[in-house]
Chain A
Amino acid sequence: MTARLTAAFTAGLFLGLCAVPALAGGVPKDVPPTGIVSAVDPEARTIVFRPDGAERDVTLPLDATVDTVRIPVGSRSIVYMEKRDGKSVVLDVSKMFVTLTPALLIALVVVGLVGGMLSGFIGSGGAFVMTPSMMSLGIPGVVAIASNMCHKFPKALVGAYKRYRYGQADLKLGLVIGGSAIVGVQIGIRVQKAILAAWGKAGSDLYLSVAYVTVLLSFGAYVLFDAWRLWRGGIEVKTSTLALAVQKIRIPPVMDFPVAGLKLSLWVTVPVGLASGLLVATIAAGGLVGVPASIYALGTTALVATATQLVTAFVMGLYGAVYWAVGGFVDIRLTLLILAGSLIGIQFAAIGTTYVRDYTIKYTMGVAMLIVAASRAAKVPVLLADLHWTALSADAVGRLESVSFWALVAALSSACAIVFCATVLGILHARRNRDAAPG
């Protein structure tokens, strides 16, 4: 009992410390201004805008591409601007909090269900599925990121709790990795800012796509190969040579991780956390590198790695949620709608993990990673064209965008189909065995 209270107190203190920098940091910087557009002048092509917290209206010129009819007047909006010759020019005005229609409501619950199933099974997949899906449903990017982040920590909490009860999640390992992951997020944000300042938006998008494709292709191919090797060679799980070498490092403090069954130096967990955080800041999917790193660099099983990643996701999610909520960007309605689906999806998938072998989890993860890599790779030529490094016709751009979108849909559908089938077949198989057992 005392040990549990100590663990709970340590976790609470740790999370409190995570939240302090976010609160102390105040309103998130580098996000477009929000406020109310009170008037639009189509002739002069200007808007009258009062930013949040300001006491005076400002008149801003509109870019030639802005459709004045679609500007929301009187609603709280996000105004995207660009500096031209020292003056701010409005590129777009989006209504900050969308009107919920029944179709949008259902779509958000389904998106949550899919993201929850992926998170519960492979320890990742929520953010990189949900944020683009929400944006394609018409939700402004910054609100989609913030609302998704606020849904991430309760979802990860429920998933981590479930899998902890099944004896799969190592709370201590998850919290330790989570601590360094927060540092990784900060490094990732700074790297992105530097690239944005040097090469602009197209350069930043290109960097993100190249990071996506490189990480997912290399890790995805290896995870899939490992799953195939396990499936072909029976069910024997072997620790990688790298992990065996890492486990021999004894630089203090050396910590005991009972659920993972490992004794590791704190310092060997730091690169795993940093890499997870870096990926969260870059492609919003820390688990895609955190889980393989735990398996192949630390030596946990895929089952423990995916479960422990949920603890890390909870830490990072809470940190991110506080950060965005302090800025007032969380639309709680969207958060709760995706939560409605994802809490069912994550628990269904958590049950599924107790029926499947290690290689099924690796196989699902490998397939999802490779198809997502293909989706992002299709966008690289478009971004190269944006940087004027290559020429592409409008038709070719349209086709590549379409390939990218449908590859992402294929990745999600196939991963969910594998999770669903593996769970149902596992349950049926277990029931048959139980019925056939003598007595």
Chain B
Amino acid sequence: MDGSHRKKLYGTTLLFGALSISSYILLFAHQEWVTRHFTRGGVYAVLPIVTAFYFSLVHGTFASCLLRVFGLRAAARSATDKRQSEGSPKEEVQP
């Protein structure tokens, strides 16, 4: 990874890390209000669903970047490549 890519990765990690932590702090600082309104049921069901989506986006992006900062990356081969290297089940079907 070259310098500019690394810089961009660190920047994204910091941005989403800060966003994730501040979102958690904001929610837990008002946990009583949140719990009261998020558990009213009915149409209020949209609140926990949307919040879970939001956190999966923000915290998920942060977690992904963090793993890349630690050098954890997927191997550069797809399932199709693996299938070819390991013997394809489809090949077994061919007459």
Binding site for B on A (CB under 8 A): 23, 27, 76, 96-97, 100, 150-151, 153-155, 157-158, 162, 166-168, 235-239, 243-244, 247, 259, 261-262, 299-301, 303-304, 307, 318, 321-322, 325-333, 335-336, 339-340, 343-344, 347-348, 350-351, 354-355, 357-358, 423, 426-427, 430
A239 close to B89 (CB less than 8 A): yes
Question: What 1/0 mask marks residues of chain B from 54 to 67 whose CB sits below 8 Å from any chain A CB?
Answer: 01100110011011
- Kindly identify which residue among A236, A238, A326, A330 contacts B42, using a CB–CB cutoff of 8 Å: A326
The chain B residue sitting closest to A23, CB to CB, is B45
Size of chain B's interface in residues, with CB distance under 8 A?
Answer: 48
Interface-centre pick from A23, A237, A304 (highest chain B CB count, 10 A) = A237
Say yes or no: A333-B35 contact (C-beta < 8 A), given A326-B42, A326-B45.
yes
A150 close to B72 (CB less than 8 A): no
Say yes or no: A299-B89 contact (C-beta < 8 A), given A168-B79, A351-B67.
yes
Binding site for A on B (CB under 8 A): 24, 27-28, 31, 34-35, 38-42, 44-49, 51-53, 55-56, 59-60, 63-64, 66-67, 71-75, 77-83, 85-90, 92-93
Q: A-side binding surface: helix, strand, loop or mixed?
A: helix
A351 close to B73 (CB less than 8 A): yes
- Kindly identify which residue among A23, A239, A322 contacts B92, using a CB–CB cutoff of 8 Å: A239
Residues of chain A within 8 A of B28, CB atoms compared: 100, 333
A332 close to B56 (CB less than 8 A): no
- Kindly identify which residue among A97, A348, A358 contacts B39, using a CB–CB cutoff of 8 Å: A97
- Give bound CA distance, A158 to B90, whole Å: 29
- Give bound CA distance, A326 to B56, whole Å: 20
B42 close to A150 (CB less than 8 A): no
- Give bound CA distance, A237 to B79, whole Å: 13
